[in-house]
A and B are shown apart, each in its own frame.
Chain A
Amino acid sequence: MTGRTYSVSLTVNGRPHTLDVPAHHTLLRALREQLDLVGTKECCTEGECGACTVLVDGQAVDSCLMLAVEAAGAEITTIEGLADGDRLDPLQAAFLETGAVQCGFCTPGMIMTARYLLAQDPHPTRAAVQEGISGNLCRCGGYNRIVDAVLAAAEAESS
C-alpha cells in the first residue's frame, strides 16, 4: 500500500515481531491483519464492547483504542497465547465447564479481561468479577455463567 508506514517492534505471545504499519492502524488491525491472530475480534471500534481486549504489558486494554505504533516495545498477549499446547488455561477450561460459551464471539475478549482480573486479585468476589467484566458485552448468554467460570478458575488456580 501507499502512504507512510512505521516500523514497530513488539512481542506477541512471547514471539518478537517487527511490523510495518500506517499510523492510523490500530493494534487490533495489526494483530488480525498482519499477524493473522484473528482470535481477537472487532466489533464496536470505540471501546464500548470489549471484544478486542488483549493484554499489553499485563494490562487489559481495548486493542481498538491503541494505535499499533503505540505498541512499540510492548509485550502483547492475545487469546492465542493462553493455552500451553493442548493444555487449556484454567479460565478456558472453566468457560467450557460452566456453559459460558455460546456463539463464542465475545469469549476471547472476556477471557483476556478475566485473565487480567485474576492477576490483579486471585480471589475476587462475585461482585468484583461482575464489575470487572462489565466492559465486555455478551448478547447470547446472561453473563452469570461467565462470572461462574471466572470464580471457578480462581478457585482452581489457588488450589
Chain B
Amino acid sequence: MSVHTWLTDTPLEVADVLARVGTHEDGAVALFLGTVRRSNAGRDVVGMRYDAYLPMAERVLAAIAAEALERMGEGSVAAAHRVGEVPLGGASVAIAVASPHRAEAFDACRYVIEEIKVRLPVWKLERYTDGTEAWLGGAPPPAPEPAETAS
C-alpha cells in the first residue's frame, strides 16, 4: 500500500509514475496520461501553461490519491501533474495504479483523474497558433466539506 504524488515543472514520463507502483502481489497496472491536444473549441493550440496554488495542490493531489487507495483497499497509486509550459502532445498529468485485479485498478485510476478535474487548484493558459492566449474555464471548485470550514 503506497501513495506517491507530486507536481513538477519538468516533462512527465510514463516511467516516472510506473516506477512508483506495483509489487509481486499485483496483477494489474492501469496507466493514464492526459495530453495537450491540438484543437480546443475550434481553435488551434500550440501549448499550455499550467499554474497551480502549489502547496494546496500538493495536499489535494495527495488526498485524492489516498482516497483512491482507500477505495481499492490494497495496491498503490502514483500521480504527477505538470506546472509550467507543456507543448502540444506533451503530458500534463500521469497516473499509475497497481492492484491485484484490473477492475479495481481501472476504477481507482479513473477516480484520480476525475477528482483532479474538479478539485485540484490548477489552471491552464491555452496558447494558440495566432499568438493569442486564454485562461480556460474549468470546473467550479467544490463546496467545502463541513469539517474544513470549522477552522
A and B part of one assembly: no
